[in-house]
Copies of this chain bind each other. A is one copy, B any other.
Amino acid sequence: MIKTPICDLLGIEYPIIQGGMAWIADADLAGAVSNAGGLGLIASMSADAEWLRGQIRKARQLTDKPFGVNIMLMSPHVDEVARAVIEEGVKVVTTGAGSPVKFMKDWLAAGIKVIPVVPSTAIAKLMERSGASAVVAEGGEAGGHVGDLTTMALVPQVCDAVSIPVIAAGGIADGRGVAAAFMLGAVGVQLGTRFIASKECNVHPVYKEKILKAKDINTIVTGKRFGHPVRCLKTTFSRELYSMEYNSGVSNEELEKKGLGALRLAVLEGDEKRGCFMAGQCAAMIKEEKPVKQIIEEIFAEAEELLLGGAKWVKGR
């Protein structure tokens, strides 16, 4: 068994967190990941508090193990959602797409462990000063909303910058990525794309199939014009969106209209023409849909062998 301070901090068996993917990370997926010994997350995305409360209660029925909520800080309902996690007794909150500082005092007072997703050392330090229990250092090879720094460059730098535990995210889909993250100084990992192609994930079958068929060069980053880059699979839609962004004849309004609801269309309807299938660069490493428990067990069995076997390269000691 691989045990790190993240296991103790969160009361989980394996040091793995499931990514808080909008429209994807629901009670079913979170419950499955928590039942398998990781930390499942429900994504609050832009939903209101009522929806989130329903999901939290559903997850409680699915598992008696710890799970968390990912709060998307740009949500129009962020204030009510931030209160709801306190009122519902959620124990772990991860945050993305903004600064959680204004909510930290109340969350910490409620005993919530806060784990912000960070794209740089400066933000990691700010989060540590604000009372975060750990940070997720997420590299730009991840799916969905991404930063510039990659996992290989970001994780060691964040580890040098803060004293709280660092969880690595971005580009990790198997035990090799987990073992590499540990070598970089992380004591846990967050995986998103790998869990989309799990039995318990409720996305449309077309979404899973697209991940299983992806090649290494099949992701693209759109949204740079607005300063909110998003990594997704290359499709006719995402290529069009990409071209439009770099075409100054296309207005911001047209561009926003084109992108609106595209993730929802991918997740719920598997719409190949208008859907945005968010995924990380590791999509091509995922060949089979599996139950969450099997995914986690296989990843950590592989990581364990690699960590035990690293000494094989060292001669004469």
Residues in chain A within 8 A of chain B (CB atoms): 1-4, 120-122, 139-141, 148-154, 156-157, 160, 170-172, 174, 176-177, 179-185, 187, 215-217, 219, 246-248, 280-282, 284-285, 304, 306-308, 310-311, 313-317
Cβ–Cβ contact A174 & B156, under 8 A: yes
Cβ–Cβ contact A313 & B150, under 8 A: no
Cβ–Cβ contact A139 & B148, under 8 A: no
Cβ–Cβ contact B121 & A1, under 8 A: no
* Chain B residues whose CB sits within 8 angstroms of the CB of A317 once the complex forms: 304, 308
* Chain B residues whose CB sits within 8 angstroms of the CB of A121 once the complex forms: 215-216, 284
Cβ–Cβ contact B2 & A315, under 8 A: yes
What separation, in Å, do the CA atoms of A37 and B214 have in the docked complex?
A: 40
| Chain B, residue nearest A287 (CB) | B160
* Chain B residues whose CB sits within 8 angstroms of the CB of A156 once the complex forms: 174, 176-177, 285
Shortest A5–chain B CB gap in Å is 10
4 new A-B pairs (CB below 8 Å) besides A4-B313, A157-B284, A180-B181? A120-B216, A151-B151, A176-B185, A180-B184
* Chain B residues whose CB sits within 8 angstroms of the CB of A246 once the complex forms: 246
What separation, in Å, do the CA atoms of A1 and B184 have in the docked complex?
A: 20
What separation, in Å, do the CA atoms of A187 and B313 have in the docked complex?
A: 9
